């Protein structure tokens, strides 16, 4: 039983990584990240829960290993301050308002794609003239965040660990690319 579970688990994960489906968008995002950096701007990245951990990992690796400036906003003091003062659904929006600059790029990770803090952040990014909004989602293809992105990586699954694993692989492939 456990052998079958693992066999099916990894087969499903392998099928979800369908490289052909993501190749062109990955190359476009790599070029966006490099251009954003070359223009003296930064890439901002946000996520909730496991997606926040993925955002932190990607941000550090992109900066250290690829030499492309990327910032994430997972400090507990910032999160609790903005959530307390503006509401949890607005903390990303407020972080973008305070820290985002015209011409920056933005990556938003939301396994379900309907987190109000992420969708509010995307809307604020438009107001701040953030140059590119890149989303990583799963669950429903017509989720709220995908509707707000310029380039969208959607994982056709409702299993959060599969979605987050694919997001992690895609993001870290950008570092290596």
In this predicted structure, what is the pLDDT of residue 20? 86
Find the angle CA(130)-CA(134)-CA(136) to the nearest 5 degrees.
Answer: 145
151-154 and 105-110: which strand pairing?
unpaired
Q: Residue 119 and residue 142: Cα distance in Å, rounded?
A: 13
Give Cα separations from 127 to 10, 16, 17, 43, 156 (angstroms).
41, 34, 33, 16, 30
In this predicted structure, what is the pLDDT of residue 114? 97
Q: Residue 12 and residue 3: Cα distance in Å, rounded?
A: 14
In this predicted structure, what is the pLDDT of residue 169? 96
In this predicted structure, what is the pLDDT of residue 58? 98
pLDDT truncated to tens, each residue of the chain (177 aa)?
A: 899 999 999 999 999 997 788 999 999 999 999 999 999 999 999 999 999 999 999 999 999 999 999 999 999 999 999 999 999 999 999 999 999 999 999 999 999 999 999 999 999 999 999 999 999 999 999 999 999 999 999 999 999 999 999 999 999 999 999
Give 3-state DSSP helix, strand, coil % of the chain, rounded to 5. Answer: 60, 15, 25
Q: In terms of C-beta density within 10 A (0-12 exposed, 13-18 middle, 19 or more buried), how is residue 76 classed? A: exposed
Find the angle CA(17)-CA(151)-CA(173) to the nearest 5 degrees.
Answer: 40
């Amino acid at each position: 039983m456990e052998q079958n579970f693992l066999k099916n688990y990894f087969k499903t994960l392998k099928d979800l990584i369908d490289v052909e489906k993501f190749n062109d968008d990955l190359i476009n995002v790599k070029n966006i990240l490099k251009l954003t950096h070359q223009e003296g701007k930064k890439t901002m990245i946000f996520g909730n829960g496991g997606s926040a951990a993925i955002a932190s990992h990607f941000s550090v690796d992109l900066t250290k290993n690829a030499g492309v400036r990327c910032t994430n906003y997972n400090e507990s003091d910032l999160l609790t301050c903005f959530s307390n003062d503006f509401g949890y659904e607005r903390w990303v929006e407020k972080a973008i308002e305070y820290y985002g600059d015209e011409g920056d790029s933005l990556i938003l990770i939301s396994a379900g794609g309907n987190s109000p803090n992420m969708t509010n952040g995307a809307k604020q990014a438009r107001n701040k003239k953030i140059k590119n909004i890149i989303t990583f989602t799963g669950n429903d293809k017509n989720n709220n965040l995908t509707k707000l992105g310029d380039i969208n990586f959607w994982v056709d699954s409702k299993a959060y660990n599969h979605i987050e694993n694919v997001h992690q692989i895609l993001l870290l492939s950008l570092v290596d690319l």
